């Protein structure tokens, strides 16, 4: 069962809304399927992104996947610690392995995301 305190996307990202800020990371399922994460490219703080926009990449030894912003708004923080230690994404994808935070512009975008139950069904959980 996936964590119920947050929302999900079909691209296997999670979004945790706290006030006007949305924290984004990849799911445990994604972290496992990807294998050893070796490098991340994250958006710069201050960038304004649209919902669904590709904002960075996540790399393993032999793959590169795009990272998308699940909601639109200004990027207000990125996790510098995972840039230095990408293995954190594998070890603790839901907490220490968060990737970036966006200031939510449009609350309704949160409603379009998958619930924990929907995501659980998506990954056949």
Partner 1 sequence: MPYTPHTAEDIREMLDVLGLATVDDLFRSLPAAVRPPAGLDLPSSLSEEEVWRVMSNLAALNAGQDELASFLGGGVYDAAIPAAVDAVVSRSEFLTAYTPYQPEVSQGTLQVIYEWQTFVTRLTGLPVANASMYDGSTALVEGVRMALGRTGRDAVVLPAALNPRHRRVLETNLASEGVTILTAPIGAAGTTDPAALRALLDGRAGAVVIQNPNHLGLIEPVDALAAAARDAGALVVASVNPVSLSLLKTPAEYGAAVATGEAQPFGVPCGWGGPLLGFLSCSDELKRLIPGRVVGRTVDHDGREGYVLTLQTREQHIRREKATSNICSNQGLNMARGTVYLALLGTEGLRELGAANRVRCEALRAILRGIDGVQLPFAGPVFNEFVVRLPRPAREFRAFAREQGILAGIPLDGFAGCGAGDLLVAVTERRTADEIERYGSALRDFLEQ
Partner 2 sequence: MSHERQGATPARWGADLQTSLFAKGRAGRRATTMPAWRGDDVDTALPAGALRAAPADLPSLSEPEVLRHYTLLSNLNHHIERGLYPLGSCTMKYNPRLNEKVAALSGFASLHPEQDEADLQGLLCALKLLQDALCEITGFAACSLQPAAGAHGEYLGMQVIRARHLDRGENGRTEVLIPDSAHGTNPASVVLTGMKPRTLKSGPDGRLDLDALRAAVGPQTAGIMITNPNTLGLFESDIVEVARIVHAAGGLLYMDGANLNAILGKAKPALMGFDVVHLNLHKTFSTPHGGGGPGAGPICVTQELARFLPAPVIREDAGVYRLDACAGECRPSVHAYMGNTGVCLRALTYILRLGGDGLTRVSERAVLNANYLRKRLEGLLTVEHAEGTLHEFIATGADWKEKFGVRTLDIAKRMLDYGIHAPTIYFPLIVDEAIMVEPTETESKETLDRFVDVVAAIRAEAERDPDLLRTAPHTTPVSRLDEAAAARRPDLSWLGPCNCG
CB 74 within 8 A of CB 47: yes
The SS3 of residue 43 is coil
Task: Tell me phi and psi for residue 69, to 5 degrees.
Answer: -90, 120
Between CA 122 and CA 120 the distance in angstroms is 5
Six token digits for residue 113: 């995301």
Between CA 90 and CA 101 the distance in angstroms is 19
Q: Candidates 17-25, 36-44, 64-72, 95-103: pick the segment binding partner 2 (CB under 8 A).
A: 36-44
Q: How many CB atoms lie within 10 A of CB 54?
A: 13
> Quick one: what does residue 64 bind among partner 2, partner 1, none, with the CB cut-off 5 to 8 Å set by partner type?
partner 1
Name the residue nearer to partner 1 (CB basis): 63 or 91. Answer: 63
Binding flag, residue 16, partner 2 (CB under 8 A)? no
Which residue of 3, 16, 17, 38 would you call a contact of partner 2, by CB under 8 A?
Answer: 38
How many chain residues bind partner 2 (CB under 8 A)?
9
Name the residue nearer to partner 1 (CB basis): 1 or 61. Answer: 61
Nearest distance, CB of residue 41 and partner 1, angstroms = 8
Binding flag, residue 41, partner 2 (CB under 8 A)? no
Per CB under 8 A, residues contacting partner 1 are 38-39, 59-64
């Amino acid at each position: 069962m996936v964590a119920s305190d947050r929302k999900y996307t079909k691209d296997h990202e999670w979004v945790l809304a706290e006030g006007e800020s949305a924290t984004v990371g990849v799911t445990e399922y994604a972290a496992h399927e990807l294998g050893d994460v070796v490098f991340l490219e994250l958006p710069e703080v201050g960038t304004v992104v649209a919902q669904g926009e590709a904002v960075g990449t996540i790399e393993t030894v032999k793959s590169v996947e795009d990272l998308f912003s699940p909601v639109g708004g200004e990027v207000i923080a990125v996790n510098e610690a995972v840039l230095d230690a990408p293995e954190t994404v594998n070890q603790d994808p839901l907490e220490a392995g968060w990737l970036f935070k966006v200031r939510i512009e449009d609350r309704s975008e949160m409603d379009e995301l998958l619930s924990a139950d929907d995501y659980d069904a998506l990954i056949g959980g």
